């Protein structure tokens, strides 16, 4: 029996594509939201779950970041990078000037912002829970409604593609992370994700903490922040560093950082994705 992978469905999403790339012959379980992916793993319905965490145009996926910080004890055990090529689709062939509404996931609408502004300036934009849901909603709406989604979703739900590659940057990519009850053993080509926050504020407090990594020649591959949801102007910092948490220098850095912060959570160590 294959491994069970939960993903943001329905079929045809980029999350489904990422799940197929992670394990080709997995049993795929579509669920309705990013928190539902984590719940499926926590409850035992799925062995692993895959969720988008950042896009090269729109940045961090806040639903996933907040889930990892506040609402889940699952670990990241892997990552997959998927090239994203968005298609504009409708029921049938239609002039762009006749489109009154465009439905898509908020991240996809953001990835196509320049296209929408220049080519469909009068169209109303409607957010959907996923790209595939957007196509289903579009097919149930008026003929003047369009959707932005994947080519696979258009085929699955019988939509007509009007234009391909409508994303604003041709190198559009989304990074997905795989959630499990434990992270990955060392491979020699790993990264570690963590988050932390401070109990107070002082000049240089963040740069001082990050020197714990730099002084040990450990490279940071990402840093960003999210509100801590407790007080305005207070943030949780999310960092990716090269190396596995069990490596001596990485472990030393994490111990030193832990002594400087009020909260630190290691989200997992896992192999770095290889771009195809």
User: Helix %, strand %, coil % for the chain, to 5?
Assistant: 30, 35, 35
Distance CA 112, CA 115 (A): 5
Q: 102: which strand partners? A: 125, 146
8 Å CB contact between 49 and 179: yes
* Tokens read off for 130: 């996923």
Distance CA 200, CA 229 (A): 15
- How far apart are the C-alpha atoms of 156 and 153, rounded to whole Å? 5
221 is catalytic: no
Task: List, in sequence order, every residue forming a beta bridge with 125; answer none if it has no partner.
Answer: 102
The first and second tokens of residue 66, run together, are 């907040």
* Of 165, 237, 244, residue with least CA distance to 197: 237
Catalytic residue from among 13, 145, 174, 192: 174
Catalytic residue (choose from 13, 63, 64, 176): 176
Is 176 a residue of the active site?
Answer: yes
Contacts 24+ apart (CB under 8 A), 226-229: 226/60, 226/62, 226/65, 226/66, 226/69, 228/197, 229/66, 229/70
Strands 220-227, 173-180: pairing is: unpaired
Three-class SS state of 28: strand
Instruction: Identify the three-state secondary structure at position 111.
Output: helix
Q: Any idea which residues carry the catalytic annotation? A: 174, 176
């Amino acid at each position: 029996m294959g491994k069970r992978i939960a993903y943001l469905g329905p079929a045809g999403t980029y999350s489904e594509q990422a799940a197929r790339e992670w394990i080709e012959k997995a049993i795929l379980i579509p669920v309705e939201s990013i928190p539902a992916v984590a719940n499926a793993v926590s409850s035992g319905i799925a062995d692993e779950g895959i969720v988008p965490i950042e896009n090269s145009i729109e940045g961090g996926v806040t639903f996933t970041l907040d889930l990892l910080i506040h609402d889940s004890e699952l670990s990241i055990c892997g990552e997959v990078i998927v090239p994203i090529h968005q298609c504009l689709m409708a029921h049938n062939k239609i002039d762009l000037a006749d489109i009154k509404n465009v439905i898509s996931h908020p991240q996809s609408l953001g990835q196509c912002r320049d296209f929408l502004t220049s080519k469909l300036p009068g169209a109303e934009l409607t957010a959907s829970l996923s790209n595939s849901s957007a196509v289903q909603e579009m097919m149930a709406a008026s003929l003047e409604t369009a959707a932005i989604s994947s080519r696979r979703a258009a085929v699955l739900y019988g939509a007509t593609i009007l234009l391909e590659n409508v994303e604003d940057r041709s190198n559009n990519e989304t990074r997905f992370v795989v959630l499990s009850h434990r992270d990955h053993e060392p491979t020699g080509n790993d990264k570690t994700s963590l988050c932390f926050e401070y109990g107070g504020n002082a000049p240089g407090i963040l740069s001082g903490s990050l020197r714990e990594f730099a002084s040990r020649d450990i490279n940071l591959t990402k840093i960003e922040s999210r509100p801590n949801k407790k007080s305005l102007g207070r943030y949780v910092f999310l960092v990716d560093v090269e190396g596995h948490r069990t490596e001596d220098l990485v472990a030393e850095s994490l111990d030193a950082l832990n002594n400087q912060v009020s909260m630190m959570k290691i989200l997992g160590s896992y192999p770095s994705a290889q771009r195809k």
